[in-house]
Structure formats: structure tokens, C-alpha cells
Amino acid sequence: MATITRPPIAPPMSSVTSVPTSPLQPSGDQVVVLYVIIAMAVVIFGFWNVPVVRNCINPLKLFTIGWHELCHITAAILSGGRILKITIDPHVGGATIVEGGRPTFILSAGYIGSTLLGGAFILAGWDTLVAKILSFVLGVGLIMPLVLVRDKLTILLTFCYEGLMIGFWFVDHGQALRWYCLFIGVMNILFVICTCLFYSSHSPYMIALLGDVADDRFFHKTNDSDATQFSILYPRIGAHLWATFWIIFQLGMLAGFALLGIYVFKVPDDAGSNG
């Protein structure tokens, strides 16, 4: 009697959806954040430099400039320098006059500090909890420069931005705070670019770039940028080269923090849609 044999069973076909994705490949929601970062950079550059309109972001500029100068001050104190004068103004920029200390360390601290704080706020654009934590830093940072401010419009706008931030806590479980913090992050991490069509008062030519420098070109800013100060400290390297170096540095750090946000706060599209 012949035995009945079962036909061979083919191995299961691998599903196309089961192919693992790179940890640095952004999800759908994260792609939106990347596009928003680009859009915010364009908007910030315009608002920073366009007359009349630039007054609308004076409180945010004071926060950005104030932190930048605080980094100079901290580096000066740590290196044994003595602070002679501090200027923080949304129209003429900031300046910290120091006696002694280590000039290279003090100058570098400004852009590096702005970049690191901006990077932290960039990460807040990927996660609501991080945004809520950093909103306290922003709340205090917006109020502190008012000690030096006498302009009534700037004071009024500062309280408006504070109220807006508090209101965002209650919009969609704080999701709106992500975009608020992301805006602050882009402004800080691209500080050299936000103000950069650079005019060096110590050289006979104009340098067209995108950073701590457009105020000088269009609005005759009285305080030199850090790039100018570096060119004075190291005369063989022009201010345009220093500005270019810091622009590349900050763009690279922006890309790095964006990749870090994608990697650390990776959320599948289906999970993000659920909530």
C-alpha cells in the first residue's frame, strides 16, 4: 500500500515592511520638524534684519544676545579676567569689555555657548517633555534682560512672549511648546548667521556673509562682532575667514543636534498617530 506524502511547504516570504530602517532615518513626524527648522531659519533671518518688523522679536533677541554675553562673562571670570563693561541691546547687539583673562577662550565661549544652548532647544523640538523643562529656562531668560531695558514696547512684548509660552503649556498637552522652543533653538544655534552680512570697522572692505554681521552692514551696529575681534587678535586671518569658520561650525552643530534628536526621540509613525 502506497504511502501518502505531504507536499513540501515553502518557507515564509519575508515581508517588505519588516525590513529594518536606519536609526537615523526620520519618521514622518520628524521629517516635518526638519522642514520647520529650515523655514524658521529663513523667518528668523528676515525678522532679525528687516526694519520695524525686527522690533517684534526684541525680547527673543535679548534672550539670545544676553546668553551669548553671559558665556563671555563666565569665560572671562574663569580665566582670571575682570569685567569692565557689559552692553546688551537688541538694536546695537551685545558687548563685554574685559581686562585680562585668556582672550581666545573668552571670545570662543560666546559662539560655543550660543551653539550649545541652541542645540538643547533644538532637541526640545523633538520631545514635549524636554520642551516643558526648557520652558522654565526660557521664562527666566526672557525676564532677566529687562533689568537693562527701558524701552516700553520691548517690555510689553516680553510679557506677551511670556504669556504665549504659558498658554502653550495647555495647547495639545504642551505640543505647541515644541515649536516655540525649536524657534529659540534655531535662533541661538545660528546666532552668527542670524546677524551676518558682516562689516568690519577695522578693514577697508565689506564682507557679505550670513551671521553676527548683518546688523553692521544695514544698521551700523556700534559693537563689533566676535569674528572682527578674532581678526584683531589674530591679524593674519581676516574677519571673513573667522566668520566663515563659525558659520560652518554652527551649521555642522545644527545638523548634529538634528540627527541626535532623530536618534534619541525616534517614534514610529503609527505610535505617533496614536498619541
Ramachandran sector of residue 80 (left: φ over 0; alpha: ψ -120 to 50; beta: rest): left
Tell whether the model's pLDDT for residue 200 goes beyond 80: no
* Predicted local confidence at residue 17, as pLDDT: 46
- Is the distance from CB of 47 to CB of 56 less than 8 angstroms? yes
Higher-pLDDT residue of 108, 7: 108
pTM value? 0.78
> CA neighbours within 13 Å on the CB side: how many for 206?
10
Cβ(226)–Cβ(156) under 8 Å?
A: no
Q: How far apart are CA 197 and CA 214, in angstroms?
A: 4
pLDDT band at 26; cut points 50, 70, 90? confident
| Distance from C-alpha of 203 to C-alpha of 123, rounded to nearest angstrom | 38
Distance CA 265, CA 8 (A): 45
DSSP 258: H
> What average pLDDT does range 116-140 have in this prediction?
93
Beta-carbon contacts of 195 under 8 Å, excluding residues fewer than 6 positions away, are 48, 49, 93, 211, 212, 213, 214, 215, 225
> Which of 186-200, 214-228, 259-273 bottoms out in mean pLDDT, i.e. has the lowest?
214-228
The 10 Å CB-count burial string (b at 16+, else e) for 132-163 is bebbebbeebbeebeeebeeeebeebbeebee
- Determine what percent of the chain is predicted with pLDDT higher than 70: 77
- Tell me how long the chain is: 275
The C-alpha R_g of the chain, in whole angstroms, comes to: 24
Mean pLDDT, the chain, integer? 79
Concatenated DSSP letters of 177-246: HHHHHHHHHHHHHTHHHHT-S-B-TTSSSB---SSTTHHHHHH--SSPPHHHHHHHHSTTS-HHHHHHHH
**Residue 175: other Cβ atoms inside 10 A:** 11
Please compute the mean of the pLDDT values over residues 187-205 and round it to a whole number. Answer: 58
d(CA 100, CA 184) in angstroms, rounded, equals: 32
Question: pLDDT band at residue 149, thresholds of 50, 70 and 90?
Answer: confident
Q: Name which of 163-177, 194-208, 243-257 the model is least confident about.
A: 194-208
By the 8 A CB rule, do 23 and 263 touch? Answer: yes
- Distance separating alpha carbons of residues 184 and 47, to the nearest angstrom: 13
Lowest mean pLDDT among 2-16, 106-120, 140-154, 195-209: 195-209
Instruction: Identify which has the larger pLDDT, 198 or 104.
Output: 104
**Among 67, 76, 147, CA closest to 111:** 67
